Amino acid sequence: MIDADANVFVVDDEESVRKAIARLLRSVGYRVVTFATAREFLDSERGEPEGETAACLVLDVQMPEMGGFDLQRELNAAHAELPIIYLTGHGDIPMSVEAMKGGASDFLTKPVQDVDLLKAVEQALDRARELNAEQAEHSRVRERLDRLTPREREVMGLVVAGLRNKQIAYELGTTEKTIKVHRARVMAKMQAPSLAELVRLAERIGFPEKARP
Amino acid sequence: MIDADANVFVVDDEESVRKAIARLLRSVGYRVVTFATAREFLDSERGEPEGETAACLVLDVQMPEMGGFDLQRELNAAHAELPIIYLTGHGDIPMSVEAMKGGASDFLTKPVQDVDLLKAVEQALDRARELNAEQAEHSRVRERLDRLTPREREVMGLVVAGLRNKQIAYELGTTEKTIKVHRARVMAKMQAPSLAELVRLAERIGFPEKARP
DNA sequence: TCATTTGTTGGACCTTAGTCCAATATCGGC
DNA sequence: GCCGATATTGGACTAAGGTCCAACAAATGA
C-alpha cells in the first residue's frame, strides 16, 4: 500500500515530462511539486528540513545550466539527504554506475514505464523514511548534548570512556566529589536512565569526536 | 600506490579475456587466480575465509549455466562478502543499476580500458579491506561471546540493558550475590575493562538479538 | 564409576557510585 | 554591585558494584 503522506519533487526542463510524471504520481496519492530548473528547486522552500514527511526527488540528468548531478552535489553539500531517482533520455552504463555509486536511489531511462517509476518512488520513499527516523533520533540526542556545560561534556567523555570517578577527578585536576555532581547532571540532562544507555547515546552521535591529526 | 598483498579472482568463460585481464593485473603486482566457470570458482579453496588479505572478484555477467548474478547470490547466501566488479559485453542500464543496487562494487563494459579496470580493482580492494577489518573485529567479539555460558549470556543481556544487579536477580529468580559472580565472569570473558566497553562490544555485534515477532 | 571440569550459588568484606543537604568562588552582563 | 549560570567542595548517608573464599550439583571424559 502507498503512504499518502509523502512528497515527491520533480525537476525536469521539459514541461510535458513534468506534467506526465506529476499526473501519474498524483493519481496514486502522492503530493507532487514540480520544478523546471535545478536552481528553482534549490531556491524553493520545500517544507521542514527536519523531515517529518518522507520525500524524494525525481531528477532529470540533462538540463541546461545546472544538471542533475550538479544538483545532487549541492544537496549533499547542504546536508540535505534526499533519495534521488535519476531520469535520462541519453544515458549510458558508466553514467548510471557513477550515479548509483554516488548514492542515487535509482536510475531510469526515458521513456519510463509507469510501473518502473512507481516502484522506484516507493523504494526511494522507504529510504527517506529510514533516513528521517535516524536523523530525528540523532538530532534529538545532539540537542541534549548541546545543553551540557563544557565541563560536563569533559566529564561525559571520560565517563563513556570507562574511567571511574576517581580517575576522572585526577584527569581533570579536581576531586571525586565534584565529578559525582557533574556526572549526575550529565545523566539528567542526557536523559539517560543508566550508564549503559548513556554509552549508547554517545555512540550514536559519535561522541566524543576524535582529535584532529 | 598498490598494495601487492591482494588477491583478485577472475571468472570469465572466454580464455582470451581471462588471460588478458590476468596479465594486466599481475603486471601491477596483484595475485590473480582465474576460473572458467562460476562452479569452478565456488568449488575452489580461495584461502582464508576470515580474510587476512584483501580480495575481490572480476566477474563476467554472461556465462553458460551459472551467470554472474547467480554467483553473487550464492556468495551472499554463503556469507562470503567479496566486492564484485562486473564485466559484460551485452549490458544495458537497467542491468547495471540492478547490479549496483545488489551491492556490486563496479560494473564495466567490454572491451574495458586498462585504467578503468585498474581503478575499479583498487576501489574494490579498498572496500574489501574495510569489510575485512570490520568482520575481523566482529568475529573476535563473537568468539568471546560464544565462550559465555547460557546463564552468563542472560546476565550480560540484562546488564547492557542497564538493569541493576538487584533487578537482574529478580528477573532471573535468584539473588544479587549470584549475579555479581556471573557479571564478573562476563566482564572477564568478554575482556571488557569497563561497563562502557561492554556496552560497546554488545552494540557492535548486535547483542542481544531481538526476539522474533 | 570415579575424577575432573564447568556452571551455579552463597557469605563476608571493601570499594565505588549516587543522593540530599549546604556552601563558596568566578565570570559575564545588566 | 547584583544576578544567574557555572564550577567547585564538603558531610553524612544509602545503594550498588566488585573481590576473596567456599561450596555444591551437573556434565564430561577416561
Q: Name every residue whose Cβ is closer than 8 Å to that of residue B133 and which is 6 or more positions away in sequence.
A: none
Tens of pLDDT, residue by residue over B81-112, are: 899 999 999 999 999 999 999 999 999 998 99
- Whole-structure pTM value: 0.86
List b or e across A173-195, with b for residues whose CB sees 16 or more CB atoms inside 10 angstroms.
eeeeeebeebbebbbebbebebb
User: Do B183 and B175 meet the contact criterion of CB atoms below 8 Å apart?
Assistant: no
Task: Please compute the mean of the pLDDT values over residues A76-89 and round it to a whole number.
Answer: 90
d(CA B148, CA A141): 33
Sign, CA dihedral B89-B94-B95-B97, equals positive
Contact B96 A100 (CB under 8 A): yes
Task: Please compute the mean of the pLDDT values over residues B172-194 and round it to a whole number.
Answer: 88
Where residue B174 falls among pLDDT bands split at 50, 70, 90? confident
User: Do A29 and A2 meet the contact criterion of CB atoms below 8 Å apart?
Assistant: yes
Tens of pLDDT, residue by residue over A171-182, are: 888 888 889 989
Task: Please compute the mean of the pLDDT values over residues B180-209 and round it to a whole number.
Answer: 90
With distances taken from each CA to the C1' atom of nucleotide C7, the closest residue turns out to be B149
Q: Name every residue whose Cβ is closer than 8 Å to that of residue A150 and which is 6 or more positions away in sequence.
A: none
Q: What average pLDDT is seen over chain B?
A: 89
d(CA A164, CA B180): 18
The percent of residues in chain B predicted with pLDDT above 70, rounded, is 93
Where residue A108 falls among pLDDT bands split at 50, 70, 90? very high
> Contacts of residue A203 in chain B, CB cutoff 8 Å?
200, 203
Task: Please compute the mean of the pLDDT values over residues A78-106 and round it to a whole number.
Answer: 94
Angle, nearest 10°, between helix axes A114-146 and A195-204? 130
Of the candidates A186, A195, A188, A137, the one whose C-alpha atom is nearest the C-alpha of residue B163 is: A195
User: Do A39 and A65 meet the contact criterion of CB atoms below 8 Å apart?
Assistant: yes
d(CA A178, CA A184): 10
Residue B126: the pLDDT is 95
Angle, nearest 10°, between helix axes B195-204 and A195-204? 50
Tens of pLDDT, residue by residue over A19-60, are: 999 999 999 999 999 999 999 999 987 765 555 789 999 999
How many C-beta neighbours within 10 Å does residue A140 have?
14
Contact B97 A96 (CB under 8 A): yes
d(CA B64, CA B12): 10
Of the candidates B101, B115, B104, B118, the one whose C-alpha atom is nearest the C-alpha of residue B32 is: B118
Residue A35: the pLDDT is 95
Residue B213 has pLDDT above 80, yes or no: no
Assigned C-alpha cell, B45: 579453496
Kindly report the bases of strand C lying within 7 A of a protein C-beta atom. Answer: 6-12, 16-19, 22
Residue B51: the pLDDT is 52
- For the CA of B148 and the C1' of D25, the distance in angstroms is 19
User: Do B180 and B165 meet the contact criterion of CB atoms below 8 Å apart?
Assistant: yes
Residues of A with CB under 8 A from a CB of B: 91-94, 96-97, 100-101, 106-107, 109, 159-163, 193-197, 199-200, 203
d(CA A17, CA A12): 7
Of the candidates A194, A193, A197, A206, the one whose C-alpha atom is nearest the C-alpha of residue A157 is: A206
Of the candidates B44, B41, B43, B73, the one whose C-alpha atom is nearest the C-alpha of residue B58 is: B41
Residue A76: the pLDDT is 87
- Nearest nucleotide over every DNA/RNA strand to the B177 CA, judged by C1': C10
Greatest Cα-to-Cα distance within chain B, rounded to the nearest angstrom: 72
Where residue A212 falls among pLDDT bands split at 50, 70, 90? very low
- Nearest nucleotide over every DNA/RNA strand to the A159 CA, judged by C1': C17
Taking CA atoms, what residue in B is nearest to A101?
Answer: B100
Q: What is the CA radius of gyration of chain A?
A: 23
Tens of pLDDT, residue by residue over A132-149, are: 999 899 999 998 898 888
Where residue A5 falls among pLDDT bands split at 50, 70, 90? confident
Residue B76: the pLDDT is 87
User: Which helix (H) or strand (E) element contains residue B84?
Assistant: strand B84-88
Of the candidates B21, B19, B208, B17, the one whose C-alpha atom is nearest the C-alpha of residue B114 is: B21
Assigned C-alpha cell, A196: 549503559
Task: Please compute the mean of the pLDDT values over residues A205-212 and round it to a whole number.
Answer: 71
d(CA A3, CA A72): 25
Q: Name every residue whose Cβ is closer than 8 Å to that of residue B79 and which is 6 or more positions away in sequence.
A: none
Tens of pLDDT, residue by residue over B124-143, are: 999 999 999 998 899 889 88
